[in-house]
Structure 1
Amino acid sequence: MRKGRAWGIPRLATHGWALALALLVLGLAPLGFRHPIADAQATATSPGLAVKTDIADATLRPPSSTAQAGQLPPLVHYRVKNRDTVESIAARAGITVDTLVQINQLPSAAFVDPGQRLIVPPTDGTMIHVDPDQSLDVLAETFRVDLSTLRAVNGLPPDAKLPSELFIPAMRTEDVARAAATSEAGGASPNPAVGREHLIRFAWPTKGIITQDFWQFHPGIDIANDEGTPELAADAGQVVFAGWGDYGIYVEIDHGNGFHTVYGHMSRALVSAGQMVSQGQQVGLMGATGRATGPHLHFEIRFQGVPQNPLDLLS
């Protein structure tokens, strides 16, 4: 009997301590769970963060009609979530798949990875590369965009220096070079359809048959002919690359007005980087170097880094 009572007292004491400990944990647990949430909220509202922040699903929606009339919100960054697709993100933002693909330079519209960060604009448009020393006023006039709208959508204060890339709202990629070329040839016209005959024109870079057209995932045209067929500079400029790269042996020329041309899959380059060339000057020989199935010229025209359809700009 004595032995049983001796064991009974510690057992009750143990249960009492266990109950007290459980109550203590239950009382403190909410404080522990709230702490990370408070930290996260403080981080999200920290004044040190950039203007372009992650956006939640709830805010991934097209701007209001008032915003589309000239009060566009700025570009935002979106972190891709599970089950997101390029199509679903574009649909929720109220923009086209082409806009989302071009702005983010996606290799394909087929898929995106969870956690990937995308730039999502409030409306359709295109992203161009710009010289930070350029004037935003001139760019606004060139592309016929309201200056205040251009500032707002790119999140630029009045005294801010231009970023290396600028979003041009309501401008299709294929129209970028036309607008700039028209402006270069004699001032921006109030009617985008006027002045097409005054566009900057490039000379045909070689002779042959077009075997591949320009499209979303082929940023140039392919012109096939015999190996060794001469390839000519489409316009005067400075060679910025001549050698082996993504297009086998290729040459890239900077024409000094925002335009670059690329000549790919050569059998041999006849110019070197830094060399000045004139329009029609031979720059290489046709070949099939790199990923090519036969001798041809892969020819690209880029404006501010954005591929253009060469057939729109060739004489």
Structure 2
Amino acid sequence: MPSTTEPKLISGNANRPLAQAVAKRMSMHRGSSVGLVDARVERFNDQEVFVEIYENVRGEDMFIIQPTSNPANDNLMELLIISDTLRRSSASRVTAVIPYFGYARQDRRTKARTPISAKLVANLIAQSGIERVLTMDLHAAQIQGFFDIPVDNLYASPIFALDVKHHFKDCLDEVMVISPDVGGVARARELAKRINAPLAIVDKRREKAGEVAEMTVIGNVEGKRCIIIDDICDTAGTLCKAAEVLMENGAQEVHSYITHGVMSGPAVERVSKSVMKSLVITDSIQPTDPVKNAPNIRIVPTAPMFAQAILNIWGGTSVSSLFDHDTLEPLYEGMYS
């Protein structure tokens, strides 16, 4: 049954521009002003997080927009403390909108005596009073099962499909989708199906974490406009090396579509100097000035999709409808027309 209250948004400090963009889109959809709840999320001198909300939220359906990106621990604590503040202020329901779920790469024990930190973070989120999570492109789909509360996992591939069809409309028959590793084949196949393109794989072998020893291309990429699809770009080492290997195997050009642009350390410099013609990321993580100013990095917005997903959750309607191209295209009308 739809809620009788209005959806209310509150943001931590992780990505306020995205939160403001979501509020703006929700205002457009509803025909009435939707703003961010007036609050302060600050640090004491010893860096403890302090939250104070200046508006009445009693009985309200609250949505906290807060990716747990770098600094992951600070942003995670902000999320938990905002949730605790809302629960103690008698909010009727608290939903965490986490565009980028930090610690997702620690989703299993890869060797003895290591943690499964993604499960620990899921427990912390549920215990803080959050009743539902809305996120995008979890590093591993099974992370949804780490939560004992409902999790809606949105996908960037429908947005990427719209972008590819717009920017490659004159040469779609030359496009080939590339998975940068065997584990990402399902994600790459999803985009390939949406744009009706063939699929190839770059198989990589690591000597140790962060270093790739060898790469092999599985498939014929000669003369193709290759599009690498992945969920996270951290230091961009693997991505740039994959682009080089594809060019060495006869690719005409290489582009990359990555959901979460972590872009740490030398990432921007590597991408700027690489053979990649373009890197497309979403704004799930607030881009830094170097990322925004890089000539071959482009950012696509997620606010239209998150705004509609929040409205669907609030209204008790389907979120999975946003996986469909026909549902999503009107939300991005004007951008890809």
Same fold (TM over 0.5): no
With structure 1 as the length reference, what TM-score do the two structures score? 0.25
- Asked which structure has the greater CA Rg, the reply is 1
Higher relative contact order at CA 8 Å, sep ≥6: structure 1 or structure 2? 2
Structure with greater helix percent: 2
